Amino acid sequence: MKSMRSVAFGMACVAGALTTTSVFAATTLESVKEKGHLQCGVTSGLPGFSQPDEKGAWTGIDVDTCRAVAAAIFGDAKAVEFTPLTAKERFTALQSGEIDMLSRNTTWTLTRDVSLGLNFAGVNYYDGQGFLVNKDIGVDDATQLDGATVCIQAGTTTELNLSDYFRTKGMEFKPIVFDTSEQTVQGFAAGRCDVLTSDRSQLAALRSKLTDPSSAKILPNTISKEPLGPVVRQGDDQWFNIVKWVLSVQINAEELGITMANADEMLKSDNPSVQRLLGTDGDMGAKLGLPDDFGHAIVKQVGNYAEMYDRNVGPDTALGLERGINALWTDGGILYAPPVR
């Protein structure tokens, strides 16, 4: 009977583990502080947005967004751990609390905002869907793609946009759906499809993976709007605000000319906007539940939006993307952050 008892004990333990519902409904901020780091969901590898190098060090614009949030909370941009997620897992991972925020090249759509129990905290990159074609097929415009075979990555809005586009143009297509972007490029390189479709920001990077990048070209058409941004769980407004304002601080910092290099110097600035942003005046941080100098920590450690952009996807990187609509509103783009006041 002794062993029977131990079995019963084991069962009781399992049962206990199953019912330990968190009676203390801690806020996300509290639980992040308690853990000592931010858990951030990213892609498993997308150049410019989030990609691990061989040592597992992450880089990319989505990664920097996470780092900025960590800098705001802890004053330490390194206090963040990354969870690589496939497109399929990303929302459940956020919903279940496995990650604190999702910064994974995710398009803001009504359905996602409403039916998944999530909130989009802003946009860190304005993208649109485009086409990469093999030069051999002699196509200059997407309207000539009737009957083409198209490689797509699974689990994205891309599939729906593509189908809508061809349908409204009265054209036919054959979709080949792959699980990862590596496989998508492999399929395209192997000649399985005439066209590869993805967000425009990705096409350049994907093209660079081909044996002969000059054999393919990007068509001028943009067939959809893809505002990409960080996502948080619904129902925790404080956390939602923090992520939203971290992003705004970065954009405002660019507007005010605060950079990683001059962040310390700017502390002495007498411009009230700069003072509020860097926390030398007012209690902007306290209102969010953060240290007052959170703005300084973000800009000092991660940089303003322009620095984040140029470092990861800008003209000097492998992606080589011009700012375009991602420029500040004052420079002809659409980045317009609400003021910190």
* Distance of closest approach, residue 16 Cβ to another protein, in angstroms: 11
Using rule CB under 8 A, residue 13 touches another protein: no
Q: List the interface residues with another protein, window 67-86 (CB under 8 A).
A: 81-86
The stretch near another protein (CB under 8 A) out of 49-57, 124-132, 267-275, 292-300 is 49-57
Q: What does the per-residue mask of binding to another protein show for 79-118, with x meaning CB under 8 A?
A: --xxxxxxxxx-xxx-xxxx-------------x--xxxx
**What's 65-111 look like in SS3?**
HHHHHHHHHHCCCCCEEEEEECCCCHHHHHHCCCCCEECCCCECCHH
Q: Give the one residue of 48, 60, 122, 187 binding another protein; rule: CB under 8 A.
A: 187
Q: Give the one residue of 27, 33, 128, 149 binding another protein; rule: CB under 8 A.
A: 149
Q: Give the one residue of 27, 45, 269, 293 binding another protein; rule: CB under 8 A.
A: 45
Q: Give the one residue of 173, 240, 305, 309 binding another protein; rule: CB under 8 A.
A: 173
Q: Among the residues of 116-235, which ranges form H helices?
A: 158-168, 181-189, 200-208
Looking at the chain, the number of H-run helices and the number of E-run strands are 14, 14
- The SS3 assignment for 201 reads helix
What's the DSSP call for residue 113?
H
Q: Give the one residue of 71, 121, 123, 162 binding another protein; rule: CB under 8 A.
A: 162
Of 314, 335, 47, nearest in space to 198 by CA: 47
Beta-strand runs (E) in the chain: 38-43, 51-52, 58-59, 80-85, 101-102, 118-120, 125-127, 129-134, 148-153, 173-178, 195-199, 216-218, 226-228, 231-233
Using rule CB under 8 A, residue 167 touches another protein: yes
Using rule CB under 8 A, residue 52 touches another protein: yes
Q: Give the one residue of 27, 59, 75, 177 binding another protein; rule: CB under 8 A.
A: 177
Q: Give the one residue of 13, 15, 261, 286 binding another protein; rule: CB under 8 A.
A: 15
Closest to another protein by CB, 186 or 222:
186
Q: Give the one residue of 27, 33, 176, 289 binding another protein; rule: CB under 8 A.
A: 176
Using rule CB under 8 A, residue 1 touches another protein: yes
For tokens 């800008």, what's the residue?
314
Using rule CB under 8 A, residue 155 touches another protein: yes
Q: List the interface residues with another protein, window 215-244 (CB under 8 A).
A: 233-235
Contact predicate 207/182, CB 8 Å: no
Of 89, 97, 98, nearest in space to 106 by CA: 89
